[in-house]
Structures are given as structure tokens and as C-alpha cells.
Amino acid sequence: MSQSDSERSLGVSVAIPTLFVLLWSSGFIAAKTGVQYSGPLTFLALRFALVTFLMLGVALAMRAPWPRTWGEVGHYAVLGLLMQVVYFGAAWISMSNGVGAGTAALIVSMQPILTAVVAGPVLGEVVGRRQWVGLAIGFVGVGLVVEQKLVHGLGTPMGITWSFISLLGITVGTLYQKRKCPNMDPRTGGLVQFITAAAILTVLALLFEEGDIEWTGEFIAALFYVAVFLSLISITLLTVMIKRGQASRMTSLFFLVPPITAVMAWAILGETMTWMAIGGLACVVLGVALVVLPPSVWMRK
């Protein structure tokens, strides 16, 4: 391989995971924008209905492998319930109850910490002292941010509770995927998840919401963004990373989601943070970094 090819490959190796994390962070901004014009369940039902058709086209075009048994389909459907319905549904309900995009992203970003700690008894993985320290620091940080937001009337206790339910959904979903769906293709497996989510959320939206939608330009843009960029392109990038063996790089960058989302929320939505909340954000970033970054980063050789 020539030097130019090597440099180009290195650039792609850095660019793809970075773009993935940027898209993941921006999803909270689009969600916060969209729930201003419709109920969160209605918005999500539309999103997953749209992305179902888009992902079907991607799966067919890329000739992705389909599940071999109905048992696999069942596991993917359960994963869709956890990762799409509970995770996204609770997070978007949280934001519709006044919780800021940055705060919701901050709470959900604790997922790598909880997953690493819970993986010990559930999956038989070793949980080291660094992971426990990261968990403690992370929760202290979340507590500081939540306390400051509630004191200043930014969100409600119920809204914050929904963010923690979202965190529970993605944590349990991640563990379920590791145990039951380790070889899932993200395109066809994602398609099963999206079909499941669209069906469940449509029923929930009909039961608990009026179905009122303000078809503003901002709402349409937010719907298009979460369907195409957050779901379709993100899944495609994840597929590329898995094939290139870069999924661990994306995980290592996960600790950057809270500050990136906070900056986006400040610049786009006008969300502000007190110095105490910024300190809490720093604690969460440190806590997640302690868990997801390899030991070599923290120790000199």
C-alpha cells in the first residue's frame, strides 16, 4: 500500500466513527425540535414507518443476509422493543416534558457505564475498579446537572424519570443484543426492529395521543433528519465500521456525545448551562471515558 493510500485509509478510519458520533449527538436536537409540533409517540411512529421503507430498499440494494429462523426474527423484535420503542420513546417523551436535549443526552450517555458494570454478573465479564469509579463519578455528574436543571425550572421530575427509563431501555437492549443477537446484520436486523417499533408506536400513539401535527418546515426537516440521517445513514456507517473492525472506535468516542450535544443545544436551541451543571457534565464525560477508553490511555507504558 502506498503512503497516499495509507493516509487515505487512516482518514476514513477516523472520519466514519466521528461522523457516526456527530449524527448520534444531533439526533437529540432534531427530536427536541420535532416534539414541539406533534406528540412524541406520533412523531416516532411516523419516523419508523418512513425508515422502514428506506431500510427495506437499503437491505435489498446491498443484498443483506436475512434472518435464518423465526427465532432470530423474534429476538430482533424484542431488541426493537427495547432499543427503539423504550429507548427512543422514553427519551422523546422526556424532551416533550420540558427536559433539554443536552440533559437527555447526558443521562442516556451513562449507557456504556451501566452496560460495563451490569455485564459482569449478566455476561460473566470482568468489571474492574476503573469501571466502578467511572460509574460513581458519572452518577455524581448526572446528579449535579439534574439538580441544577430542576432548580432553574428546566424540565420536570417526571420528564427526568422518562430519561432514566430511556437509559434503562438502551442498557438492557445492549445486553440483550450481546447475548441473543451477536451476529445480527444491522440492515435486516434493523429492518425487523423498525417494523416492530412502527407497529407498537402507532398503537400507542392512537391510544394516548390526539394525533395532532403541525406540518411546519421545522417539523418536516426534523422528521426527514431522524429518518434518513439518524436511522438510515447511521446504520450504514455502523455496518461499514463493523466490516472494517472499527466498532470499538465508535464505542470509545461515545463519551464525546454529552458535550457535543450540549454545544449543539446551546447553538441551535438556545439551551444554557450553569457552571455547576458544566461541572456535572465534565464528571459524566470523565466517568464514561474511564469505562470506554482502553487502559493504555490512562497508564504510561
Q: What is the pLDDT of residues 145-190, one digit of tens each?
A: 888 777 777 778 899 999 999 999 988 988 888 889 888 888 899 9
pLDDT tier for residue 136 given thresholds of 50, 70 and 90: confident
Q: Which of 12, 22, 15, 14 has its CA nearest to residue 229?
A: 22
Residue 243 is predicted with a pLDDT of 55
CA dihedral over 36, 38, 42, 48, signed as positive or negative: negative
Decide if pLDDT at 39 tops 90.
yes
pLDDT for 274 = 82
Collapsing DSSP to helix, strand or coil, 87 comes out as helix
pLDDT of residue 128: 74
Give residue 121's pLDDT band: very low, low, confident or very high (50, 70, 90).
low
Confidence at 232, pLDDT banded by 50, 70, 90: confident
Angle at 99 between CA 94 and CA 101, to 5 degrees: 95
CB of 184 closer than 8 Å to CB of 116: no
Model-level pTM? 0.85
Helix (H, G, I), strand (E, B) or coil at 38: strand
33 compared with 119, residue with greater pLDDT: 33
